[in-house]
Structure 1
Amino acid sequence: MSDSETTPFLAASSSNKAADPDARPSLEQSETTPLLSSGATPRYDGEVDDEQNETASIAAGEMDAASIKSTTDRSIPKPSLIAGIVLSLFALGIMIGAFFVPVAVEEYAKQAVVLEPTNLSLVSITTSGVRARIQANFRMDAQRVENEHVRRVGKAVTWLVGSIGTEDTKIHVHLPDYDNLLLGSAAVPSMDVSIANGQNNAVDFVADLIPGDAEGIRTIANEWLEGRLDTVRLQGKADIQLRAGMIPLGTHSIVESLTFEGHDMPQLPAYNITRLNFKEIPVPESRPSQAEKWAMGVEVTIKAFNDYPISVDIPELGFEILVPGCGTADPPIVVASAITHRTSVKSHSEVAVDADGLVDKLPEPLTRACPHSNSSPLDLLFEKFLGNETTTVLVRGQQKPGGDTPGWLAEILSSITVPVPFPGRSFENTIRDFSLTDVHFKMPDPGAEPDDPESNPRVSGTIQVLAGLPSEMNFSLNVTNVRANADVFYKKQKLGELNLKEWQKANSTQFPATEGGEATLKIQSRIVDAPLNVTDADVMTDVIAALLFGGRGVELDINALVDVQVQTVLGDLVVKGVPAEGKIPVKPLGKDLPGLAQPKVGNIEILDTTSDSISLRALVNITNPTTYSATIPFISIHFEKNGTTLGEAQAENLDITKGNNTNIPVFAKWNPTMGGKTKGRNVGRELISQYLSGFNTTITIRTYNGTIPSLPSLGESLSRLNFTLAAPKLRLPPPGGGKDKDKDGDHFIRDATFHLWSSTAQFTLASPLKKNMLYIEYVNATALYNHTEVIGTIEYDLPFAAPPGESKTPRLPVVWDLDSVGYDKVEEALGGRMKLDARAMVGVRLGAWRERVWYWGRGIGAAVRFKLPNGGPGSLVFVW
């Protein structure tokens, strides 16, 4: 036995050890000496014992090595030795048992205990709580204990004890941070478990769980659901009666606290709505005499995966479905009731919950507009749902659900409101067909400012929409009114906006789903004067160019938000912001629209003249070959030739219908100086000369920034397009006052009579003017045969008038070329027909306007005969 083990209570002198290192005190000395006083102890008879004196000397350090040696040879009494050993061990046991062992065992128990729940199932729901079967694995794992000394003591104590048992125990769980509210209690039956290290215990018992203060449960649940519960501290209290086998260990009051962080608490499982069906269902009235009432029924199936070792059979439960009000401070609005079917929840498996809902009416707060807004809570709900956004509905237990739902459960569920994210729906590809027929365009008021809403063109037409109905909608509905804000695109570029701010009458026809198909809804509405705000004039120009020159129609894309008034079993609803996408096919206008229009000008009336211009009014007949009609309050265009502007034409209050449009009043101004004083007049003179000579004359009409005064950008943009058309034919008076229908009425010169003997010629003229006098101021003409052989010439510089209708000219002097081949051909043509050419320079005057034009008639058919009775001998008559 070493010195450290034999002398724990002996204070030996270091000097004595140095004197005799090999000297070892006897066992009796080492064990009895600590129990003796260091000084002499008086005896009861007054004498001092020699042994005591020697012992005192040793304790004082005054004895030498020889005296110590002699002392060890003396014997020590046995009772003293045993008493000293017992007392020392008892003191040590008290110290270890009272101070060290309980603390170590407690620390060991906290760190080494392992509890693994394997299953929690509800045996039954009682009127006061829940009877649950709890299954778990319990064991002590010493390796979890960090302190080596605590681990040794704990293993030793638990090995000695072996197993421990408890009597029936009631555990109370409180919320210390919420005024110590009682969360619940559990009645746990007696049990025995082995506490030896590594020994597994399969724990399986049934406990009665009784909920505590409903307010506390509601507070914790709602804060958790709202994400405001960062931590929660639970405090459990129980009086546990312990026993080791049959030996009672007394009753121990245990108070333990457990803190859960937010991320450690269980989360609501992810779920999928696998079935959602809306349908009409009959709801019988309370009195049999009353007629059956219809309501909206909802069938829902929700599936989720249970990640926890919990099994439970959930009875039928009643819930209220609520939606948020206008603001966060407003109470939610109850819109429906729902009952879940009995559901069996198994641990670590998928759970399917079926529920039936009922909406018998729409509460007034749901459809009432919110303060300072045009939208109601229902509008806000639909806006998110139809926009494919996740909206939130609220689910709350019913206070009196009926059935076999215990009152305590109904009280708890009715105090908890669970926000449930409800996914929106994408309405892409919902529109199957979108058409706009009987289109009528109305151009804007010319007096409107460019930024004025009245400056937008307006569109009327019949909209027909064929929409596919979602499979969830299995109830009848009828669309009565629509309005919309639509963006119109061409080749993904925005053309403009079509705004229907006012309700437009509509009707609908619902077609049930066919086998393998879907239900559809056909909606038809007549829109009237819907403003089309052209936001990009260049895109509009591209559309018109494609319609005019592309040879085929175009498709305009439309993205709209539609408000719909619908009649349902719940009454009249207004659904706002329904997204709609579609295409508007626009038929082509024809590759040669100006040519197909076949404009004809008649009834020309001169309104004013200047030395450079003529202002006139004419009635024009055109043909509208398209399927569209238009109302044009005002339009102005320029007409030009080879890029030189020669004048402008204006029209007001036009109503262009499909097909023929007659007697359209058009105001025009011939003013070549718009294209330059010299160049314009030369180009204008050339154009008039070609026109009078019967050439195939064309003019170009072009828009400009004043075409539509309220839309200058559109007119400017459309000016990129060239609309070239044949010069319109003038409506001339019929030949012979309308009696001679066989003669051509399109020539300005109807016939001519040549008098050989007097060498004169007289012509019959046809003036297109109805009220104005035209003056011929001079004529310098040459008649030709075969384009080159001169027959004769006319030079006349005395003005003469050409009144409206047919008139004859004075006899104009003719100088014959008697030696020419052409003159011989005239003589040969007596009694037959021949063709002549004519070239002339003619000066004309109309009011203050004067112009010198040339005339060239080629291949003019002429009938030649000798006229005796009235024409005089030797007269030749040429009828053109």
Structure 2
Amino acid sequence: MAAEEESSPLLSSTSTNKSTTSTSTSHKRTVTTKRSVTSESTPLLSSSSATARYDGEVDEQDQDEATLTEPSPSDTPAAQSTKKARRWPSFIAMGILGVLIIVIIVLAFIVPEAVQEYAQQAAVIEPTNLALESITTNGVRARIQANFHLDGSRVTNDHVRRVGRATTWVAYQLESQQTKVDVRMPEYNNILLGSAIVPPLVVNLREGDVTSFDFVTEIMPGDVEGIRIIANEWLEGRLEQLRLNGEADLSIKSGIIPLGTHTVSESLVFEANKIPAIPQYNITRFNVEDGPMEGSMLADVSLSAFNEYPVELDIPELAFDILVPGCAISDPSILVAEAATKEVHVKPRSDVELEVKAVIRELPESLTTACPDSSSSPLDNLLRQYMHGEPASFFVRGSRHPDGDTPKWIADILSSVTVPVPFPGRTLDGLIRNFSLTDTHFTLPDPFADPDDPDSNPKVSGNILVTASLPSEMNFGIEVTNIRATADVLYKSKTMGKLNIRNWQKANSTRVEGKGDEGATLKIESQVIDAPLNITDSDVFSEVIQALLFGGETVRLRVKALVDIKVQTTLGNLILKEVPAEGKIPVKPLPKGSIGSIDPKVGSLRVLDTTSDSITLQALINVTNPTPYTAHVPYVNVHVLGNGTVLGSATVENLDITTGPNSNILVTAKWNPPMGGAHGRKIGRDLISQYLSGWNTSVTVKAHQDSIPGQRILCKALSRFNMTVAAPKLDLPGDTPEEKSHFIRDATFHFFSSTATFTLVSPLHYNTLYLDFVNATALYNHTDPIGQITYDLPFSAPPGKSQTPRLPVEWSIGSVGYDAVKRAIGGRLKLDAYANVDVRLGNWQESLWYRGTGIGASVQL
């Protein structure tokens, strides 16, 4: 072994090997272990990121690091607390051995200080094995094996080297008697750390001679408070160095010459990089299941670590408390479980396996209660760390009520020290396999809601179906009772909006066992009602609307969600927050030709207000919803267009649309052609004329920027699409569809008086229409004139059927139509009517034209 390695402490870190330099006097010596600049930056505790996963595999990088640096001793979370119980005796034993050998050499001679310097620099102690043979009621019996020799080449001063070699050649051997050594901590009020009984030792002093030591000593721990102080500072990273002071009354002789009894004091300084860190460990098995007692769970954990030191010992069965952090650092840790380990035999430089059984009896109220000024409890914080792949923080402490076979001194030490243990997290990105929404119902925003109110957004209702994978380590009963989620809704990888199911929705779950190697899954079903859907990108929303209207294929919206799940277990109700989930919402498109199948019909009309240019009216309309979706419309206003020109607007409020026929939909419309500009009035006049003439007319419905107040993004998207539908048909009295579509129902010609009366059917159910001027022509066989009617006296057309006054007829004598009238005296004939009419409704006046065909007319003398 190299010189640097031979001077290393038994339990020093493998990352740094420095020689030990010591100075001594006849009664007091100090040994200082120096650390390199590199080691000063080395953290006291190993990073939790280096801890292997518990899925049975170790990252290749971790394996490489383990090969290069060799992991720390075989401590595991359950056994880490025992580290103080076996490492500090190790320090004491090997430190005492080194101190005694050097002191024996120095005290053997009352010679110049050169001998002291030679002894300190040339001494090489090579520990070969440390085994704790047994644990007693007072301490431990340790077997120490080591080699000792002097190496003069390590002495830098030539004079010191020559004097030392000459002296040790003369007195080539020293022998000590049985000695008790007390080790104290000078910087901690000289607290006794431990004591050891060292048997008689014989040391060969000639350079090159190797002395092998193999002896058993009993090491007894000292003040538990001192051990606790050192351990806590070490665990918290505040222990930059540790100074130990060994004191003993040493009786020595050289050959048969007694050299007397001397009181010696030796100081050893261990710097941070020389103090072993918590070792790397791998959780090879982790399984949780329901316990035999109601309200309890059992955890079965297997851990492995590599013992890189020449230390052999048996760790007895030990009991521990498992704790988690409270709300704040200053809050006491919360006890959640009791654990016990099986007996473990630790072999030098080999893997160590540890079995841990833990029982969780109940969840303390302090664990599940929300922290001050927070909505999260300590349990929420712990689960959040775990589910996001971060190491969850646990603490392990020796049980205050151990098994009766555990020596009291071990229980006192273990229960006084709390060891932080990073538990490797597990990302749950693949936990939820599917997230879907079916039987969808949409609700448009409430225009009167505040901007921050959820009612100011469109809402979605439907059935949520979630399929979640159950981790293999979860073998306990679990039932989902409620879920909620916030989700990004995407279309073709672009975010359309956010779905916010912020209120808890009732749910139920069913466990489905996997087939073959597939793990079990949990099928979760819930019904969501009125979940706000906030549209954030109008362009993407427009693409979705276009695909629904014209694509002809199912539109699949992608959902990326964070799901909160309330679960019921043996221990009670738990909440898993922000579990990542991905899924799809299939949206069926409108069936081909469905726009035409809406088939709107006007049931009744009521005029609410009129001006010289506009009419405000209400209508009851019957339509058919050809889609598989239902909707609730609190308020929406759209523009009504004819030939691309805005002629008015229509408003619906508190409307519920169901699948199939929908009757008596109340629509408030405003006929206002000037909205379309200079040509608006003419286009509007022609549209009404065509409509009253029974022609197949259509109107276009288009959203605008204020269709839904406060929803500019949504309105912008909707305004890019026009929906052209057939103008609602008039529901006029009649026996046939053709008859129901005619405004002029019947006519009677009086031949001798040259007058005619007409039966009118008004589409208005509550208002009277006035005709101020009529200029009409009656035709026979569509082309032959019968006569001309001109009348400039106003008359009314009240709701329902009504008769016009006798209107004067100027016959077209000599025409084919006139001859047909004469032949029909006393009978009937079919005629057409072309008319220009000035109409008045309240304050509104307009000149319209009318074209009627197939009007039944009777001819009387």
Q: Which category describes the TM-score, using the shorter chain as reference length? A: 0.7 to 0.9
Aligned residue number for residue 248 of structure 2: 238
Paired AA for residue 797 in structure 1? Y
Closer/same/farther in 2, CA of residues 320 and 587 from structure 1, 3 Å limit: same
Aligned residue number for residue 71 of structure 1: none
The answer to whether the 8 A contact 2:645-2:680 is kept is: yes
- Distance in structure 2 (CA, Å) of the matches to 1:455 and 1:236: 78
C-alpha distance after superposition, 1:535-588 (max 9, x if no partner)? 555554444344333333434444444444332212233444444444333333
**How is 1:490-509 mapped onto 2 (pairs within 5 angstroms)?**
490-509=491-510
Give the TM-score normalised by the residue count of structure 1. 0.78
Closer/same/farther in 2, CA of residues 589 and 345 from structure 1, 3 Å limit: farther
Closer/same/farther in 2, CA of residues 160 and 697 from structure 1, 3 Å limit: farther
Aligned residue number for residue 146 of structure 2: 136
169-178 vs 769-778, which moves further: 769-778
Give 1:178 shift. 0.6
RMSD value, Cα: 3.6
561-570 vs 104-113, which moves further: 561-570
Aligned residue number for residue 845 of structure 1: 840
Closer/same/farther in 2, CA of residues 187 and 793 from structure 1, 3 Å limit: farther
The answer to whether the 8 A contact 2:557-2:586 is kept is: yes
Aligned residue number for residue 83 of structure 1: none
Helix, strand or coil for the counterpart of 1:747?
coil
Give 1:742 shift. 8.0
Aligned residue number for residue 775 of structure 1: 770
Q: Is 1:225 the equivalent of 2:235?
A: yes
The answer to whether the 8 A contact 1:780-1:841 is kept is: yes
Paired AA for residue 317 in structure 1? L
**How is 1:99-498 mapped onto 2 (pairs within 5 angstroms)?**
101-283=111-293, 293-498=294-499
Give 1:135 shift. 2.8
> Residue 809 of structure 2 is aligned with which of 807, 810, 813?
813
The answer to whether the 8 A contact 1:601-1:621 is kept is: yes
C-alpha distance after superposition, 1:744-801 (max 9, x if no partner)? 53333446677888877765544322233333444445678999x6656634233444
383-392 vs 770-779, which moves further: 770-779
- Distance in structure 2 (CA, Å) of the matches to 1:675 and 1:141: 109
Give 1:359 shift. 0.6
Closer/same/farther in 2, CA of residues 138 and 583 from structure 1, 3 Å limit: farther
- Distance in structure 2 (CA, Å) of the matches to 1:417 and 1:250: 46
Closer/same/farther in 2, CA of residues 583 and 253 from structure 1, 3 Å limit: farther
Gaps of 5+ in 1: 1-96, 284-292, 736-740, 874-880
- Distance in structure 2 (CA, Å) of the matches to 1:592 and 1:275: 61
Q: Is 1:724 the equivalent of 2:724?
A: yes
311-320 vs 113-122, which moves further: 113-122
Task: Select the structure of larger CA radius of gyration.
Answer: 1
The answer to whether the 8 A contact 2:435-2:559 is kept is: no
- Distance in structure 1 (CA, Å) of the matches to 2:273 and 2:667: 82
Paired AA for residue 313 in structure 1? D
Aligned residue number for residue 788 of structure 2: 794
Give 1:671 shift. 0.7
Give 1:113 shift. 1.6
Paired AA for residue 718 in structure 1? L
C-alpha distance after superposition, 1:588-642 (max 9, x if no partner)? 3456654343222221122222221111111111122333322223222221234
Aligned residue number for residue 683 of structure 1: 683
Aligned residue number for residue 569 of structure 1: 570
Give 1:385 shift. 2.3
Paired AA for residue 390 in structure 1? P
Give 1:139 shift. 2.3
Aligned residue number for residue 92 of structure 1: none
The answer to whether the 8 A contact 1:133-1:205 is kept is: yes
Paired AA for residue 796 in structure 1? T
The answer to whether the 8 A contact 2:445-2:455 is kept is: yes
203-212 vs 218-227, which moves further: 203-212
Give the TM-score normalised by the residue count of structure 2. 0.79
Aligned residue number for residue 87 of structure 1: none
The answer to whether the 8 A contact 1:762-1:812 is kept is: no
Give 1:378 shift. 1.9
Aligned residue number for residue 715 of structure 1: 715
Gaps of 5+ in 2: 1-106
- The number of aligned residues is 753
Give 1:184 shift. 1.5
- Distance in structure 2 (CA, Å) of the matches to 1:195 and 1:785: 146
Give 1:806 shift. 4.2
Give 1:229 shift. 0.8
Paired AA for residue 791 in structure 2? D
Aligned residue number for residue 49 of structure 1: none
The answer to whether the 8 A contact 1:386-1:579 is kept is: no
- Distance in structure 1 (CA, Å) of the matches to 2:829 and 2:304: 101
Aligned residue number for residue 700 of structure 1: 700
- Distance in structure 1 (CA, Å) of the matches to 2:223 and 2:594: 85
Q: Percent identity?
A: 56
The answer to whether the 8 A contact 1:650-1:668 is kept is: yes
Aligned residue number for residue 37 of structure 1: none
The answer to whether the 8 A contact 2:486-2:500 is kept is: yes
- Distance in structure 2 (CA, Å) of the matches to 1:533 and 1:575: 25
Give 1:228 shift. 1.0
- Distance in structure 1 (CA, Å) of the matches to 2:197 and 2:546: 87
Aligned residue number for residue 743 of structure 2: 748
Helix, strand or coil for the counterpart of 1:687?
helix
- Distance in structure 2 (CA, Å) of the matches to 1:667 and 1:98: 117
97-106 vs 248-257, which moves further: 97-106
The answer to whether the 8 A contact 1:791-1:817 is kept is: no
The answer to whether the 8 A contact 1:464-1:525 is kept is: yes
- Distance in structure 1 (CA, Å) of the matches to 2:127 and 2:832: 119
Give 1:660 shift. 1.5
The answer to whether the 8 A contact 1:315-1:404 is kept is: no
135-144 vs 591-600, which moves further: 591-600
- Distance in structure 2 (CA, Å) of the matches to 1:743 and 1:703: 33
- Distance in structure 1 (CA, Å) of the matches to 2:143 and 2:833: 122
Give 1:266 shift. 0.8
